[in-house]
Structure 1
Amino acid sequence: MIADEALIEKAAGLLQACRSAGVMLATAESCTGGLIAGYLTEIAGSSDVVERGFVTYSNAAKQELLGVPAALIAAHGAVSAPVARAMAEGAIRASHAGIAVSVTGVAGPGGGSAQKPVGLVHFGCASSKGLTLHRERRFGELGRHAIRLASVAEAFDLVEEMLRLT
């Protein structure tokens, strides 16, 4: 992994915020393929905050590891708000974390469509207290690497929002 120093700094700040709140964190990643967890665990001492990470790149993994219903994926597609929410909620159920963040999207360069273009990414963030947030971002065709890095930053922002709300 080629590290982005700004993301490492952002990860360190997020870990401290979670630590201060006494919250463990889980990740459920599709298009980022573990980058969110990778940036978090780049920081020494992250094991007191990072509870676990799920890389659920395939639909089967989303179903088997996170309990995302096959019917939900069939109805909305893997890259959708309902699936992002279900991924985050599933990560809460399948972990001991207080907050879970999820990401599913089209990083490109192929795989996009008129309805779901390259750069479309859905984020979910669930709390063990029952709150679930969602964000949709359309990063455009920045290139696969840039879309994935932008997704990591957005996921960190969403966790920070959840910390403020809970």
Structure 2
Amino acid sequence: MTDLAPLFDDAAALVTRCAQRGLMIATAESCTGGLIAGVLTEVPGSSAVLDRGFVTYSNEAKMEMIGVPGALIETHGAVSREVALAMAEGALAASRADLAVAVTGIAGPGGGSPDKPVGLVHFGIARKGQPTQHVEERFGPEESRGAIRLATVRRALAALSNFIDP
């Protein structure tokens, strides 16, 4: 079980900043399985900021819920820059949100390969009217599954925070 308590302050700061600016957030989560939305909803008043969260763990969910093209997944793999960007843009399009963050990665302990090792996470960050951004992180493969997921949530909150003021 991933302990989200160390992220409560970051989540509260993000919720406050978004509320002050009238911004809503959507999440599209694969490797975190809803933890980003979960930590945001720990904050009182987050209902004014979090529009919805999509847990798109399977490829089918990515395609059906947020419109990620199947050909994109076939060509690049679910854990890729291209899919992370499509996930963020799809979450934005399928919601009332102004900002969206998407994460897809390999939390381990298995499932990695030389090209896509355990700890690899791709982030997509979208905002209406702005180019979608990509961030790639390679959290240590020696980290536990929980540590990789926690680091992913931390990085996602920071990415959203950096995208609030263009």
Class of the TM-score when normalised by the shorter of the 2 chains: over 0.9
Corresponding residue of 1:99 = 99
TM-score, with structure 2 as normaliser: 0.96
Distance 1:73 1:164, change over 3 A: same
Opposite residue 149 of structure 1, the aligned amino acid is L
Q: Which residue of 2 aligns with 1:69?
A: 69
TM-score normalised over the length of structure 1? 0.96
Moved more, 131-140 or 4-13: 4-13
Tell me what 1:57 maps to.
Answer: 57
Alignment partner, residue 162 of structure 1: 163
Is the 2:2–2:149 Cα contact (8 Å) retained in structure 1? Answer: no
Partner Cα distance (1:59, 1:73) in 2: 7
Q: Which residue of 1 aligns with 2:16?
A: 16
Match of 1:120 in 2: 120
When the two chains are superposed, the root-mean-square deviation of aligned CA atoms in Å is 1.0
Q: Which residue of 2 aligns with 1:90?
A: 90
Distance in structure 1 (CA, Å) of the matches to 2:78 and 2:3 = 28
Runs of 4+ in structure 1 deviating by more than 6 angstroms, as ranges, are none
Offset of 1:131 from its aligned partner? 2.3
- Measure how far apart 1:110 and its partner are: 0.2
Contact residue 119 and residue 140 of structure 2 kept, 8 A: yes
1:138 aligned partner, one-letter code = R
**Aligned-partner SS, 1:78:** coil
Distance 1:144 1:63 in 2: 25
Structure 1 residue matching 2:75: 3-state secondary structure: helix
Q: Distance in 1 between matches of 2:81 and 2:161?
A: 19
The unaligned stretches of length 5 or more in structure 1 are none
Is 2:140 the partner of 1:145? no
Residue 105 of structure 2 contacts residue 122 of structure 2 at CA under 8 Å; is this kept in 1? yes
Q: Distance in 2 between matches of 1:151 and 1:2?
A: 11
Question: SS where residue 27 of structure 2 aligns?
Answer: strand
Percent of pairs identical after alignment?
59
Q: Does 2:86 match 1:110?
A: no
Deviations 1:92-129 (CA, angstroms, capped at 9, x unpaired): 00000000000000000000000000000000010122
Distance in 2, Cα, partners of 1:116 & 1:140: 12
Shift of 1:20: 1.4
Tell me how far 1:164 sits from its aligned partner: 2.4
Correspondence for 2:30: 30
Aligned length: 165
Q: How far apart, in 1, do the equivalents of 2:163 and 2:131 lie?
A: 8
Quick one: which amino acid aligns to residue 99 of structure 2?
Answer: I
Alignment deviations for residues 48-67 of structure 1 (CA, whole Å, 9 cap, x no partner): 00000000000000000010
